[in-house]
């Protein structure tokens, strides 16, 4: 009996060790799209940091388009199809109305580091957290982007009136302003922007530098704006809340404790490499640069104010939009 008991104890211990190893090893699927670029370096760096801090016991397995379409990433998070994803709020404003507040045209030329801070604070707001909770999603970190500017294949922009009829691919806040000037918001998938400009489906694209580089919009464009300053897109990284809650304390600490470092790396990389690369690319292809005058900027700012107030009115019945707007506007004003 003693031998059998010893064997049973040893077997139980072995099972316990195996179970502990299974529990210790964690792999999360991460749904991105396109290809690795400046826009995804926050996630890439996060994966690197988490792997290092857990000695490979917690891995973020990044997929570029293999898990979901970009506009369905939030749905995938909701049903637990994968544990982490990136999406852009203007892809489906009805699914995430609260975070669209950050895409409003605040007419501020703020640094990328400050954009990161602002978005992070907005993500902590109770109204925003409640909104994303409907999708079983927890906002993990922003993907801060510089002010968007337009690249167009049309013959030039002599005045603001020339926006009339211009078919532009761009996010809500920017298109809200340009729409008042007659521009037409035209939605095409990110991967089809260059083709759509070539074929004449769209006349222009409004992007941050990395996206103009990734799509090659500048290669078919004739002019680009330099100081539109009507905001950018909000493309957060979210995690499935249940998956986050099920992480071991050590793995959860490694994930959450790596966010700030990943963002710092992302900002430095974008500022020092991507923006400079785009400026050089514009010069290489001979894009004509359009810089708005003080009077034109004043007009754009006046239109921006009306777009901001329309946003508050639109969502007043769904959540405290005025309070969330004031909170966000104050962050941009600091």
CATH 3.40.190.170-classified regions of the chain: 26-144+233-274, 149-232+276-333
pLDDT at 23: 45
pLDDT at 21: 44
pLDDT at 107: 81
Scored b (16 or more CB within 10 A) or e, 295-313 reads eeeebbeebbeebbeebbe
Please determine, for residue 187, whether its predicted confidence score (pLDDT) is greater than 90: no
Look at 9-18, 79-88, 189-198, 273-282 and tell me which has the smallest mean pLDDT.
9-18
pLDDT at 109: 83
Cα–Cα dist 203/328, whole Å:
32
May I ask the CATH class of domain 149-232+276-333? alpha beta
Which CATH homologous superfamily contains domain 26-144+233-274? Bacterial extracellular solute-binding protein, family 7 (3.40.190.170)
- Strand pairing of 167-169 and 184-185? parallel
Provide the mean pLDDT of the chain.
Answer: 92
Please determine, for residue 305, whether its predicted confidence score (pLDDT) is greater than 80: yes
Please determine, for residue 212, whether its predicted confidence score (pLDDT) is greater than 60: yes
Cα–Cα dist 175/186, whole Å:
10
């Amino acid at each position: 009996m003693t031998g059998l008991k010893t064997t049973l104890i040893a077997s139980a211990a072995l099972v316990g060790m195996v179970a502990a190893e299974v529990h210790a090893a964690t792999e999360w699927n991460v749904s991105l799209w396109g290809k690795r670029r400046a826009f995804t370096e926050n996630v890439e760096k996060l994966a690197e940091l988490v792997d290092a801090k857990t000695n490979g016991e917690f891995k973020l397995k990044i997929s570029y388009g293999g898990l979901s379409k970009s506009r369905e990433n939030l749905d995938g998070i909701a049903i637990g199809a994968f544990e982490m994803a990136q999406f852009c709020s203007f892809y489906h404003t009805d699914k995430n109305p609260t975070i669209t507040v950050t895409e409003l045209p605040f007419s501020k030329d703020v640094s990328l580091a400050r954009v990161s801070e602002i978005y992070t604070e907005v993500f902590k707001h109770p109204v925003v957290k409640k909104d994303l909770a409907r999708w079983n999603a927890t906002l993990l970190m922003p993907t801060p982007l510089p002010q968007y500017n337009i690249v167009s294949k049309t013959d030039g922009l002599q005045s603001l009136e020339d926006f009339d009829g211009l078919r532009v691919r761009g996010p809500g806040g920017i298109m809200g302003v340009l729409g008042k000037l007659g521009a037409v918001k035209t939605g095409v998938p990110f991967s089809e922007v260059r083709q759509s400009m070539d074929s004449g489906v769209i006349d222009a694209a409004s992007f941050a530098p990395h996206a103009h580089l990734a799509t090659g919009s500048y290669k078919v464009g004739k002019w680009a704006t330099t100081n539109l300053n009507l905001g950018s897109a909000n493309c957060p990284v979210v995690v499935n809340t249940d998956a986050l809650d099920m992480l071991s304390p050590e793995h959860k600490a490694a994930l959450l404790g790596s966010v700030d470092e990943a963002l710092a790396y992302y900002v430095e990389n974008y500022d020092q490499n991507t923006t400079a690369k785009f400026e050089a690319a514009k010069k290489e292809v001979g894009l004509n640069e359009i810089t708005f005058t003080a009077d034109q900027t004043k007009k754009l700012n006046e239109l921006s104010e009306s777009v901001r107030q329309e946003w508050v009115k639109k969502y007043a019945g769904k959540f405290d939009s005025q309070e969330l707007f004031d909170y966000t506007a104050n962050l941009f004003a600091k």
